Amino acid sequence: MAFISYAQNFEDLTLWRSLQLFGPGYYIDVGANHPTHDSVTRALYERGWRGINIEPVAAYYQALAAERIDDINLCMAVGAREELLTLHEIADTGLSTLDTAVAEQNRRAGMQVTPYQVPVRRLADICAEHLAEDRPLHFLKIDVEGFEMQVLEGMDFQRWRPWIVLLESPFNRIPEWEPLLLDAGYQFVQFDAINRFYVAREHAGLAVPLSMPPNILDGFQVTRSHFLMRDQPDNDALLRQLEDARQRAERAERELALLRGSRRWKLAGTLARFAGR
Distance CA 154, CA 54 (A): 14
Instruction: Give residue-wise pLDDT tens across range 69-90.
Output: 999 999 999 999 999 999 999 9
pLDDT at 89: 94
Distance CA 35, CA 54 (A): 11
Helix (H), strand (E) at residue 53: strand 50-54
Looking at per-residue pLDDT, the higher value among 57 and 236 belongs to 57
Instruction: Give residue-wise pLDDT tens across range 26-76.
Output: 999 999 999 999 999 999 999 999 999 999 999 999 999 999 999 999 999
Helix (H), strand (E) at residue 127: helix 123-130
pLDDT at 99: 93
Cβ(69)–Cβ(45) under 8 Å? no
Cα–Cα nearest to 81, from 124, 33, 116, 31? 124
State yes or no: pLDDT of 274 exceeds 60. no
pLDDT at 111: 94
Kindly state the percentage of the chain with pLDDT values over 90. Answer: 71
The count of other CB atoms within 10 Å of the CB of residue 229 is 13
The b-or-e profile of 103-116 (16+ CB within 10 A means b, else e) is beebeeeeeebeee
State yes or no: pLDDT of 162 exceeds 80. yes
Q: What is the CATH number of domain 3-222?
A: 3.40.50
State yes or no: pLDDT of 203 exceeds 80. yes
* Cβ neighbours for 40, distance < 8 A, ≥ 6 positions apart: 6, 7, 11, 12, 15, 29, 141, 143, 166
Looking at per-residue pLDDT, the higher value among 256 and 263 belongs to 256
pTM: 0.80
Distance CA 206, CA 164 (A): 8
Q: Tell me how far CA of residue 110 lies from CA of 92, 107, 229, in angstroms.
A: 15, 5, 27
